[in-house]
Structure 1
Protein backbone atom coordinates (compact mmCIF):
# COMPACT_ATOMS: atom_id res chain seq x y z
CA UNK A 1 0.00 0.00 0.00
CA UNK A 2 1.31 3.44 -0.92
CA UNK A 3 2.07 5.76 1.98
CA UNK A 4 0.47 9.20 2.03
CA UNK A 5 3.94 10.66 1.43
CA UNK A 6 3.92 8.73 -1.84
CA UNK A 7 0.44 10.11 -2.52
CA UNK A 8 1.78 13.63 -2.10
CA UNK A 9 4.85 12.88 -4.22
CA UNK A 10 2.44 11.83 -6.94
CA UNK A 11 1.03 15.35 -6.86
CA UNK A 12 -2.24 14.46 -5.15
CA UNK A 13 -3.74 17.10 -2.88
CA UNK A 14 -7.38 17.09 -1.95
CA UNK A 15 -7.68 20.87 -2.13
CA UNK A 16 -5.71 24.04 -2.59
CA UNK A 17 -6.55 26.74 -0.09
CA UNK A 18 -7.74 30.03 -1.46
CA UNK A 19 -8.95 33.15 0.27
CA UNK A 20 -12.63 33.93 -0.25
CA UNK A 21 -14.31 36.86 1.50
CA UNK A 22 -17.18 35.89 3.80
CA UNK A 23 -20.49 37.71 3.91
CA UNK A 24 -21.66 39.45 7.06
CA UNK A 25 -23.96 36.54 7.83
CA UNK A 26 -21.26 33.94 7.29
CA UNK A 27 -18.88 35.89 9.53
CA UNK A 28 -21.51 36.15 12.25
CA UNK A 29 -22.27 32.45 12.31
CA UNK A 30 -18.55 31.64 12.21
CA UNK A 31 -17.98 33.75 15.31
CA UNK A 32 -20.95 32.28 17.19
CA UNK A 33 -21.09 28.63 16.05
CA UNK A 34 -17.62 27.59 14.90
CA UNK A 35 -16.43 26.71 18.40
CA UNK A 36 -19.16 24.07 18.68
CA UNK A 37 -19.38 22.80 15.12
CA UNK A 38 -16.00 23.25 13.49
CA UNK A 39 -12.35 22.37 13.76
CA UNK A 40 -9.35 23.72 11.88
CA UNK A 41 -6.99 21.01 10.77
CA UNK A 42 -3.94 22.80 12.14
CA UNK A 43 -5.57 23.10 15.58
CA UNK A 44 -6.28 19.39 16.00
CA UNK A 45 -4.12 17.63 18.58
CA UNK A 46 -1.92 14.79 17.38
CA UNK A 47 -3.64 11.45 17.01
CA UNK A 48 -7.11 10.25 16.14
CA UNK A 49 -10.15 12.49 16.45
CA UNK A 50 -12.83 11.20 18.82
CA UNK A 51 -15.77 11.43 16.45
CA UNK A 52 -18.31 10.36 19.09
CA UNK A 53 -17.16 13.15 21.41
CA UNK A 54 -17.17 15.71 18.60
CA UNK A 55 -20.72 14.85 17.53
CA UNK A 56 -21.90 14.14 21.05
CA UNK A 57 -23.13 10.67 20.16
CA UNK A 58 -22.19 7.30 18.69
CA UNK A 59 -23.45 7.06 15.11
CA UNK A 60 -22.19 6.10 11.64
CA UNK A 61 -20.09 8.93 10.20
CA UNK A 62 -19.98 9.96 6.55
CA UNK A 63 -17.18 12.26 5.36
CA UNK A 64 -17.96 14.64 2.50
CA UNK A 65 -14.84 15.98 0.81
CA UNK A 66 -15.47 19.36 -0.78
CA UNK A 67 -18.85 20.44 0.60
CA UNK A 68 -18.86 23.70 -1.36
CA UNK A 69 -21.48 26.15 -0.10
CA UNK A 70 -23.11 23.42 1.95
CA UNK A 71 -26.71 23.40 0.71
CA UNK A 72 -26.43 19.81 -0.52
CA UNK A 73 -24.77 18.75 2.72
CA UNK A 74 -27.54 20.29 4.79
CA UNK A 75 -30.19 18.52 2.72
CA UNK A 76 -28.45 15.17 3.14
CA UNK A 77 -28.20 15.76 6.89
CA UNK A 78 -31.94 16.47 7.03
CA UNK A 79 -32.67 13.27 5.10
CA UNK A 80 -30.51 11.09 7.38
CA UNK A 81 -30.67 12.41 10.97
CA UNK A 82 -29.36 9.09 12.26
CA UNK A 83 -26.02 9.68 10.47
CA UNK A 84 -23.16 11.96 11.51
CA UNK A 85 -22.21 14.20 8.57
CA UNK A 86 -18.65 15.57 8.53
CA UNK A 87 -17.99 18.19 5.84
CA UNK A 88 -14.39 18.93 4.84
CA UNK A 89 -13.80 22.16 2.92
CA UNK A 90 -10.97 24.66 2.47
CA UNK A 91 -13.14 27.70 1.71
CA UNK A 92 -14.15 29.53 4.92
CA UNK A 93 -17.06 31.15 3.08
CA UNK A 94 -18.43 27.73 2.15
CA UNK A 95 -18.19 26.52 5.73
CA UNK A 96 -19.80 29.74 6.94
CA UNK A 97 -22.68 29.21 4.53
CA UNK A 98 -23.06 25.60 5.67
CA UNK A 99 -23.32 26.80 9.27
CA UNK A 100 -26.10 29.15 8.18
CA UNK A 101 -27.97 26.14 6.76
CA UNK A 102 -27.28 24.20 9.98
CA UNK A 103 -28.70 27.10 11.97
CA UNK A 104 -31.73 27.49 9.71
CA UNK A 105 -32.70 23.82 9.81
CA UNK A 106 -31.60 23.29 13.44
CA UNK A 107 -29.34 20.40 12.51
CA UNK A 108 -27.38 18.66 15.26
CA UNK A 109 -25.71 16.00 13.10
CA UNK A 110 -23.29 18.17 11.09
CA UNK A 111 -19.68 19.02 11.91
CA UNK A 112 -17.17 20.95 9.80
CA UNK A 113 -13.47 20.58 9.08
CA UNK A 114 -11.46 23.47 7.66
CA UNK A 115 -8.41 22.03 5.91
CA UNK A 116 -7.02 19.42 3.58
CA UNK A 117 -8.99 16.18 3.80
CA UNK A 118 -5.95 14.12 2.82
CA UNK A 119 -4.04 15.23 5.93
CA UNK A 120 -7.12 14.63 8.06
CA UNK A 121 -7.53 11.10 6.72
CA UNK A 122 -3.87 10.32 7.24
CA UNK A 123 -3.25 11.89 10.63
CA UNK A 124 -6.57 11.91 12.46
CA UNK A 125 -8.80 9.04 11.32
CA UNK A 126 -8.02 5.41 12.12
CA UNK A 127 -8.67 2.59 9.66
CA UNK A 128 -12.28 1.47 9.28
CA UNK A 129 -13.70 4.51 11.09
CA UNK A 130 -16.08 5.83 8.40
CA UNK A 131 -19.42 4.51 7.20
CA UNK A 132 -19.08 6.43 3.96
CA UNK A 133 -17.11 8.94 1.91
CA UNK A 134 -18.70 11.28 -0.63
CA UNK A 135 -16.88 13.28 -3.27
CA UNK A 136 -19.37 15.12 -5.46
CA UNK A 137 -18.16 17.08 -8.50
CA UNK A 138 -14.50 17.55 -7.60
CA UNK A 139 -12.46 19.94 -9.74
CA UNK A 140 -12.12 18.08 -13.07
CA UNK A 141 -8.88 19.79 -14.17
CA UNK A 142 -10.03 19.15 -17.75
CA UNK A 143 -6.75 19.99 -19.51
CA UNK A 144 -4.62 16.89 -19.95
CA UNK A 145 -1.49 18.53 -18.54
CA UNK A 146 -3.43 19.21 -15.33
CA UNK A 147 -4.81 15.68 -14.83
CA UNK A 148 -2.10 14.98 -12.23
CA UNK A 149 -3.83 17.53 -9.98
CA UNK A 150 -7.07 15.57 -9.84
CA UNK A 151 -8.20 14.35 -6.45
CA UNK A 152 -9.38 10.89 -7.46
CA UNK A 153 -6.22 8.88 -8.08
CA UNK A 154 -5.29 5.30 -7.24
CA UNK A 155 -3.23 6.20 -4.12
CA UNK A 156 -5.95 8.47 -2.76
CA UNK A 157 -8.71 5.93 -3.35
CA UNK A 158 -6.61 3.31 -1.55
CA UNK A 159 -6.33 5.66 1.42
CA UNK A 160 -10.07 6.34 1.37
CA UNK A 161 -10.85 2.64 1.21
CA UNK A 162 -8.62 1.96 4.21
CA UNK A 163 -10.68 4.41 6.31
CA UNK A 164 -14.01 2.84 5.37
CA UNK A 165 -15.48 0.21 7.64
CA UNK A 166 -16.49 -3.09 6.00
CA UNK A 167 -19.67 -2.41 4.07
CA UNK A 168 -18.93 1.33 3.95
CA UNK A 169 -19.61 3.18 0.71
CA UNK A 170 -17.46 5.40 -1.50
CA UNK A 171 -19.81 7.56 -3.59
CA UNK A 172 -18.37 9.68 -6.40
CA UNK A 173 -20.08 11.95 -8.91
CA UNK A 174 -18.76 13.98 -11.82
CA UNK A 175 -20.03 15.60 -14.99
CA UNK A 176 -16.80 15.19 -16.97
CA UNK A 177 -16.81 11.99 -19.03
CA UNK A 178 -13.04 11.49 -19.13
CA UNK A 179 -12.78 11.97 -15.37
CA UNK A 180 -15.73 9.62 -14.85
CA UNK A 181 -13.99 6.93 -16.93
CA UNK A 182 -10.81 7.38 -14.89
CA UNK A 183 -12.76 7.18 -11.62
CA UNK A 184 -14.42 3.95 -12.72
CA UNK A 185 -11.11 2.37 -13.72
CA UNK A 186 -9.32 3.49 -10.54
CA UNK A 187 -12.04 2.29 -8.17
CA UNK A 188 -12.48 -0.99 -10.05
CA UNK A 189 -8.76 -1.67 -9.68
CA UNK A 190 -8.81 -1.05 -5.92
CA UNK A 191 -8.98 -4.50 -4.32
CA UNK A 192 -10.64 -3.24 -1.13
CA UNK A 193 -13.68 -2.02 -3.08
CA UNK A 194 -16.55 -3.71 -4.92
CA UNK A 195 -18.77 -1.92 -7.43
CA UNK A 196 -22.40 -1.96 -6.30
CA UNK A 197 -23.52 -1.83 -9.93
CA UNK A 198 -22.38 -3.07 -13.32
CA UNK A 199 -20.54 0.12 -14.17
CA UNK A 200 -22.27 3.43 -13.44
CA UNK A 201 -24.74 3.74 -10.60
CA UNK A 202 -28.20 5.16 -11.34
CA UNK A 203 -28.48 8.71 -10.11
CA UNK A 204 -29.98 8.44 -6.62
CA UNK A 205 -33.06 10.57 -6.09
CA UNK A 206 -31.81 11.49 -2.62
CA UNK A 207 -28.65 13.20 -3.91
CA UNK A 208 -29.41 16.95 -4.06
CA UNK A 209 -28.97 18.73 -7.37
CA UNK A 210 -26.08 21.15 -6.86
CA UNK A 211 -25.30 24.26 -8.86
CA UNK A 212 -22.48 22.30 -10.51
CA UNK A 213 -24.88 19.63 -11.72
CA UNK A 214 -27.39 22.22 -12.92
CA UNK A 215 -24.64 23.95 -14.86
CA UNK A 216 -23.52 20.65 -16.35
CA UNK A 217 -27.03 19.89 -17.60
CA UNK A 218 -27.30 23.38 -19.06
CA UNK A 219 -24.03 22.85 -20.92
CA UNK A 220 -25.04 19.41 -22.17
CA UNK A 221 -22.79 17.25 -19.98
CA UNK A 222 -23.99 13.95 -18.52
CA UNK A 223 -23.51 13.43 -14.78
CA UNK A 224 -22.21 10.05 -13.63
CA UNK A 225 -22.45 8.43 -10.20
CA UNK A 226 -20.24 5.63 -8.89
CA UNK A 227 -20.93 3.63 -5.73
CA UNK A 228 -18.33 1.23 -4.38
CA UNK A 229 -18.55 -0.77 -1.14
CA UNK A 230 -15.66 -1.74 1.13
CA UNK A 231 -15.39 -5.53 1.06
CA UNK A 232 -15.50 -7.50 4.29
CA UNK A 233 -12.23 -9.32 3.55
Structure 2
Protein backbone atom coordinates (compact mmCIF):
# COMPACT_ATOMS: atom_id res chain seq x y z
CA UNK A 1 0.00 0.00 0.00
CA UNK A 2 1.33 3.43 -0.92
CA UNK A 3 0.98 6.59 1.15
CA UNK A 4 -1.55 7.99 -1.30
CA UNK A 5 -3.59 4.78 -0.99
CA UNK A 6 -3.60 5.18 2.77
CA UNK A 7 -4.66 8.80 2.57
CA UNK A 8 -7.43 7.99 0.10
CA UNK A 9 -8.66 5.15 2.28
CA UNK A 10 -8.73 7.50 5.25
CA UNK A 11 -10.81 9.96 3.25
CA UNK A 12 -13.10 12.64 4.60
CA UNK A 13 -14.71 11.84 7.95
CA UNK A 14 -17.94 13.47 6.78
CA UNK A 15 -18.43 10.64 4.26
CA UNK A 16 -18.25 7.90 6.90
CA UNK A 17 -21.52 6.44 8.14
CA UNK A 18 -20.18 6.03 11.68
CA UNK A 19 -19.49 9.10 13.83
CA UNK A 20 -15.71 9.16 13.78
CA UNK A 21 -13.73 9.32 17.02
CA UNK A 22 -10.57 10.73 15.41
CA UNK A 23 -9.47 13.67 13.31
CA UNK A 24 -8.80 12.44 9.72
CA UNK A 25 -5.32 13.98 9.53
CA UNK A 26 -2.90 13.34 6.72
CA UNK A 27 0.34 15.20 7.32
CA UNK A 28 3.71 15.00 5.64
CA UNK A 29 5.27 11.58 5.20
CA UNK A 30 9.07 11.52 5.32
CA UNK A 31 11.18 9.52 2.89
CA UNK A 32 11.92 7.02 5.66
CA UNK A 33 8.26 6.51 6.42
CA UNK A 34 7.31 6.34 2.75
CA UNK A 35 9.90 3.65 2.20
CA UNK A 36 8.68 1.67 5.21
CA UNK A 37 5.06 1.86 4.06
CA UNK A 38 5.92 0.73 0.55
CA UNK A 39 8.17 -2.16 1.53
CA UNK A 40 6.69 -3.41 4.79
CA UNK A 41 2.94 -2.95 4.48
CA UNK A 42 2.40 -6.22 2.57
CA UNK A 43 4.13 -8.09 5.41
CA UNK A 44 2.95 -6.24 8.51
CA UNK A 45 -0.08 -4.20 7.44
CA UNK A 46 -3.82 -4.78 7.82
CA UNK A 47 -6.42 -2.75 5.92
CA UNK A 48 -9.60 -2.03 7.85
CA UNK A 49 -11.86 -1.77 4.84
CA UNK A 50 -15.05 -3.20 3.45
CA UNK A 51 -16.06 -5.96 3.16
CA UNK A 52 -14.22 -6.31 6.50
CA UNK A 53 -13.01 -9.91 6.26
CA UNK A 54 -12.51 -11.74 9.58
CA UNK A 55 -8.94 -11.33 10.77
CA UNK A 56 -7.01 -14.56 11.25
CA UNK A 57 -4.54 -13.39 13.88
CA UNK A 58 -2.77 -16.75 14.03
CA UNK A 59 -1.93 -16.46 10.34
CA UNK A 60 -1.14 -12.75 10.71
CA UNK A 61 1.49 -13.27 13.42
CA UNK A 62 2.54 -16.79 12.52
CA UNK A 63 1.67 -18.13 15.96
CA UNK A 64 -1.12 -18.34 18.53
CA UNK A 65 -0.45 -15.94 21.42
CA UNK A 66 -2.40 -13.50 23.61
CA UNK A 67 -3.28 -10.41 21.57
CA UNK A 68 -3.10 -6.76 22.67
CA UNK A 69 -4.99 -4.15 20.65
CA UNK A 70 -3.50 -0.65 20.65
CA UNK A 71 -6.10 1.91 19.56
CA UNK A 72 -4.54 5.12 18.28
CA UNK A 73 -0.86 4.17 18.38
CA UNK A 74 0.36 7.57 17.12
CA UNK A 75 3.96 7.39 16.00
CA UNK A 76 4.19 3.91 17.51
CA UNK A 77 7.11 4.42 19.87
CA UNK A 78 5.14 3.33 22.95
CA UNK A 79 3.74 0.31 21.12
CA UNK A 80 7.22 -0.76 20.02
CA UNK A 81 8.62 -0.36 23.53
CA UNK A 82 5.84 -2.41 25.11
CA UNK A 83 6.05 -5.13 22.47
CA UNK A 84 9.82 -5.39 22.88
CA UNK A 85 9.40 -5.82 26.64
CA UNK A 86 6.52 -8.30 26.24
CA UNK A 87 7.55 -10.86 23.59
CA UNK A 88 5.04 -13.46 24.80
CA UNK A 89 2.10 -11.38 23.54
CA UNK A 90 1.29 -10.02 20.08
CA UNK A 91 0.47 -6.34 19.49
CA UNK A 92 -1.90 -5.03 16.83
CA UNK A 93 -1.59 -1.25 16.56
CA UNK A 94 -4.42 0.69 14.91
CA UNK A 95 -3.79 4.18 13.53
CA UNK A 96 -5.19 6.44 10.81
CA UNK A 97 -2.20 8.78 10.44
CA UNK A 98 0.15 7.62 7.64
CA UNK A 99 3.36 9.08 9.19
CA UNK A 100 2.63 7.15 12.39
CA UNK A 101 2.06 3.92 10.49
CA UNK A 102 5.27 4.44 8.54
CA UNK A 103 7.29 5.23 11.64
CA UNK A 104 6.08 2.16 13.52
CA UNK A 105 6.81 -0.07 10.54
CA UNK A 106 10.34 1.34 10.34
CA UNK A 107 10.88 0.74 14.06
CA UNK A 108 9.51 -2.80 13.80
CA UNK A 109 12.06 -3.56 11.12
CA UNK A 110 14.95 -1.84 12.90
CA UNK A 111 14.25 -3.58 16.22
CA UNK A 112 13.27 -6.90 14.59
CA UNK A 113 9.96 -7.04 16.45
CA UNK A 114 8.18 -10.20 15.37
CA UNK A 115 5.14 -9.52 17.60
CA UNK A 116 3.88 -6.25 16.07
CA UNK A 117 1.45 -5.67 13.20
CA UNK A 118 -0.20 -2.41 12.17
CA UNK A 119 -3.73 -1.69 10.96
CA UNK A 120 -5.00 1.41 9.16
CA UNK A 121 -8.55 2.63 9.61
CA UNK A 122 -11.32 2.95 12.17
CA UNK A 123 -10.68 0.71 15.17
CA UNK A 124 -14.42 0.40 15.82
CA UNK A 125 -14.91 -1.23 12.41
CA UNK A 126 -12.03 -3.59 13.17
CA UNK A 127 -13.63 -4.52 16.50
CA UNK A 128 -17.14 -4.92 15.16
CA UNK A 129 -16.46 -6.77 11.94
CA UNK A 130 -12.97 -8.31 11.91
CA UNK A 131 -12.06 -9.44 15.44
CA UNK A 132 -13.76 -12.40 17.05
CA UNK A 133 -15.48 -12.15 20.43
CA UNK A 134 -13.14 -12.96 23.28
CA UNK A 135 -10.05 -12.71 21.08
CA UNK A 136 -8.18 -9.94 22.95
CA UNK A 137 -6.03 -10.22 26.07
CA UNK A 138 -5.90 -6.45 26.48
CA UNK A 139 -7.02 -3.21 24.86
CA UNK A 140 -4.98 -0.03 25.25
CA UNK A 141 -6.56 3.37 24.65
CA UNK A 142 -3.81 5.85 25.43
CA UNK A 143 -4.54 9.57 25.11
CA UNK A 144 -7.44 9.39 22.67
CA UNK A 145 -8.68 12.62 21.15
CA UNK A 146 -10.45 14.40 24.05
CA UNK A 147 -12.85 16.31 21.79
CA UNK A 148 -13.00 19.06 24.43
CA UNK A 149 -15.91 21.06 22.98
CA UNK A 150 -19.26 20.02 24.39
CA UNK A 151 -20.82 19.65 20.93
CA UNK A 152 -18.07 17.14 20.04
CA UNK A 153 -18.34 14.93 23.13
CA UNK A 154 -20.35 12.40 21.09
CA UNK A 155 -17.12 11.73 19.16
CA UNK A 156 -15.21 10.54 22.21
CA UNK A 157 -14.17 6.92 21.94
CA UNK A 158 -15.09 5.94 25.48
CA UNK A 159 -18.88 5.88 25.22
CA UNK A 160 -21.30 3.22 26.53
CA UNK A 161 -21.92 1.54 23.15
CA UNK A 162 -18.22 1.49 22.25
CA UNK A 163 -17.24 0.11 25.66
CA UNK A 164 -19.87 -2.62 25.33
CA UNK A 165 -18.27 -3.60 22.02
CA UNK A 166 -14.77 -3.51 23.51
CA UNK A 167 -15.89 -5.76 26.36
CA UNK A 168 -17.20 -8.44 23.99
CA UNK A 169 -13.84 -8.60 22.19
CA UNK A 170 -11.89 -8.97 25.42
CA UNK A 171 -11.48 -12.46 26.80
CA UNK A 172 -12.84 -12.96 30.30
CA UNK A 173 -9.98 -11.75 32.48
CA UNK A 174 -8.74 -9.39 29.78
CA UNK A 175 -7.92 -5.78 30.67
CA UNK A 176 -9.02 -2.47 29.19
CA UNK A 177 -6.44 0.22 29.97
CA UNK A 178 -7.25 3.87 29.22
CA UNK A 179 -5.12 6.94 29.86
CA UNK A 180 -5.81 10.63 29.35
CA UNK A 181 -4.49 14.02 30.41
CA UNK A 182 -7.93 15.69 30.23
CA UNK A 183 -9.56 15.66 33.68
CA UNK A 184 -13.11 16.06 32.34
CA UNK A 185 -12.63 13.17 29.92
CA UNK A 186 -11.11 11.06 32.70
CA UNK A 187 -14.23 11.62 34.80
CA UNK A 188 -16.44 10.65 31.85
CA UNK A 189 -14.33 7.55 31.21
CA UNK A 190 -14.68 6.51 34.85
CA UNK A 191 -18.44 7.10 34.80
CA UNK A 192 -18.92 5.05 31.63
CA UNK A 193 -16.61 2.23 32.67
CA UNK A 194 -18.05 1.96 36.18
CA UNK A 195 -21.54 1.63 34.70
CA UNK A 196 -20.54 -0.98 32.11
CA UNK A 197 -21.74 -4.55 32.61
CA UNK A 198 -19.05 -7.16 33.00
CA UNK A 199 -16.17 -4.79 33.79
CA UNK A 200 -14.51 -4.33 37.19
CA UNK A 201 -12.13 -1.57 38.20
CA UNK A 202 -8.77 -2.97 39.24
CA UNK A 203 -8.21 -0.02 41.59
CA UNK A 204 -10.23 2.15 43.91
CA UNK A 205 -10.77 4.98 41.46
CA UNK A 206 -7.98 6.01 39.11
CA UNK A 207 -4.96 3.72 38.92
CA UNK A 208 -1.38 4.58 39.84
CA UNK A 209 0.67 5.08 36.71
CA UNK A 210 1.55 1.55 35.51
CA UNK A 211 5.24 0.97 34.99
CA UNK A 212 4.63 -0.96 31.77
CA UNK A 213 3.10 2.06 29.98
CA UNK A 214 5.87 4.10 28.33
CA UNK A 215 5.69 7.88 28.46
CA UNK A 216 4.10 9.02 25.22
CA UNK A 217 4.45 12.24 23.26
CA UNK A 218 0.94 13.26 24.26
CA UNK A 219 1.69 12.54 27.91
CA UNK A 220 4.78 14.75 27.80
CA UNK A 221 2.73 17.52 26.21
CA UNK A 222 0.10 17.20 28.91
CA UNK A 223 2.65 17.30 31.70
CA UNK A 224 4.37 20.31 30.14
CA UNK A 225 1.01 22.07 30.08
CA UNK A 226 0.50 21.30 33.76
CA UNK A 227 -2.20 18.68 33.28
CA UNK A 228 -2.56 15.59 35.46
CA UNK A 229 -2.34 12.11 33.92
CA UNK A 230 -5.16 9.66 34.64
CA UNK A 231 -4.96 5.89 34.15
CA UNK A 232 -7.98 3.58 34.32
CA UNK A 233 -7.69 -0.22 34.33
CA UNK A 234 -10.75 -2.47 34.10
CA UNK A 235 -10.93 -6.26 33.84
CA UNK A 236 -13.62 -8.19 32.01
CA UNK A 237 -15.40 -10.33 34.56
CA UNK A 238 -18.17 -11.85 32.48
Contact 1:169 1:230 in 2 (8 A): yes
* Aligned partner (choices 115, 119, 127) of residue 125 of structure 2: 119
* Aligned partner (choices 14, 21, 45) of residue 28 of structure 2: 21
Could you tell me how far 1:124 is from its partner in structure 2? Answer: 0.6
Counting only pairs closer than 5 Å after superposition, residues 70-219 of structure 1 correspond to structure 2 as 70-219=76-225
Whether 2:40 is the aligned partner of 1:33: answer yes
TM-score after normalising by structure 1: 0.92
Counting only pairs closer than 5 Å after superposition, residues 216-227 of structure 1 correspond to structure 2 as 216-227=222-233
| Secondary structure of residue in 1 paired with 2:218 | helix
| Secondary structure of residue in 2 paired with 1:42 | coil
Supply the RMSD in Å over aligned alpha carbons: 1.5
**Size of the alignment, in residue pairs?**
223
After superposition, give the CA deviation of every residue in 1:51-89 in whole Å (9 maximum; x if it has no partner): 010000000000000000000110001110111000000
| Secondary structure of residue in 1 paired with 2:92 | strand
Contact 2:207 2:232 in 1 (8 A): yes
TM-score after normalising by structure 2: 0.90
Judged with a 3 Å threshold, the aligned counterparts in structure 2 of structure 1 residues 156 and 46 are, in CA distance, closer, same or farther, namely: closer
Contact 1:90 1:115 in 2 (8 A): yes
Could you tell me how far 1:142 is from its partner in structure 2? Answer: 1.1
After superposition, give the CA deviation of every residue in 1:103-158 in whole Å (9 maximum; x if it has no partner): 12110000010110111111111111110100000011112222111111111001
Contact 2:52 2:126 in 1 (8 A): no
- Worse-superposed segment, 47-56 or 160-169: 47-56
Following the alignment from structure 1 to structure 2, what is the Cα–Cα distance between the partners of residues 23 and 79? 27
Following the alignment from structure 2 to structure 1, what is the Cα–Cα distance between the partners of residues 168 and 52? 20
Following the alignment from structure 1 to structure 2, what is the Cα–Cα distance between the partners of residues 92 and 46? 20
Judged with a 3 Å threshold, the aligned counterparts in structure 2 of structure 1 residues 12 and 168 are, in CA distance, closer, same or farther, namely: farther
Could you tell me how far 1:16 is from its partner in structure 2? Answer: 4.1
Could you tell me how far 1:18 is from its partner in structure 2? Answer: 2.6
Whether 2:90 is the aligned partner of 1:65: answer no
Contact 1:14 1:151 in 2 (8 A): yes
Following the alignment from structure 1 to structure 2, what is the Cα–Cα distance between the partners of residues 19 and 81? 31
- Where has structure 1 moved over 4 Å in runs of 4 or more? none
